[in-house]
Amino acid sequence: MSEPSQWQVALTHRCPRCGTGHLYRNYLTIRDECEECGLSFAEHDIGDGPAFFSITLLGFVVVGGMVVLEEIWRPSYWVHAVFLFAALAILTPLSLRFFKSYLIALKYKLHHMNPSP
């Protein structure tokens, strides 16, 4: 069986080696190892990368959406505040989980292609 791509891992949140084991213990906590193939996720620490990409992407999308909203409708400030809060409350957890899965898969692929001695 072939290894899943980084995009498949990011969308399904499965093990980057076998593609069947779960990557997360709960919503954002990574398991210690894959329950199917035994791959240790401890060596694939990605640090603050997911937060950086989420902040960057969401800043662009949400601020852009607010500019479009202002130009089209010209709502009051409280509408902007509700839009901003709702967009960030919904998109932040989704993007963090996606980027965390993607970066773990990418690090696994790069480490797997060039193993250190």
Task: Compute the average pLDDT of residues 68-91.
Answer: 93
Predicted confidence at residue 116, as pLDDT, reads 64
How confident is the prediction for the chain on average, in pLDDT? 92
At 30, is the secondary structure helix, strand, or coil? strand
At 27, is the secondary structure helix, strand, or coil? coil
Task: Compute the average pLDDT of residues 20-31.
Answer: 94
Distance from C-alpha of 95 to C-alpha of 98, rounded to nearest angstrom: 5
What are φ and ψ of residue 79, in 5° steps? -70, -40
Can you list the alpha helix ranges (DSSP code H) found in 1-117?
6-12, 49-72, 77-113
| pLDDT (tens digit per residue) in 14-24 | 999 999 999 99
Contacts of 3 (CB under 8 A, 6+ apart): 16, 17, 18, 19, 109
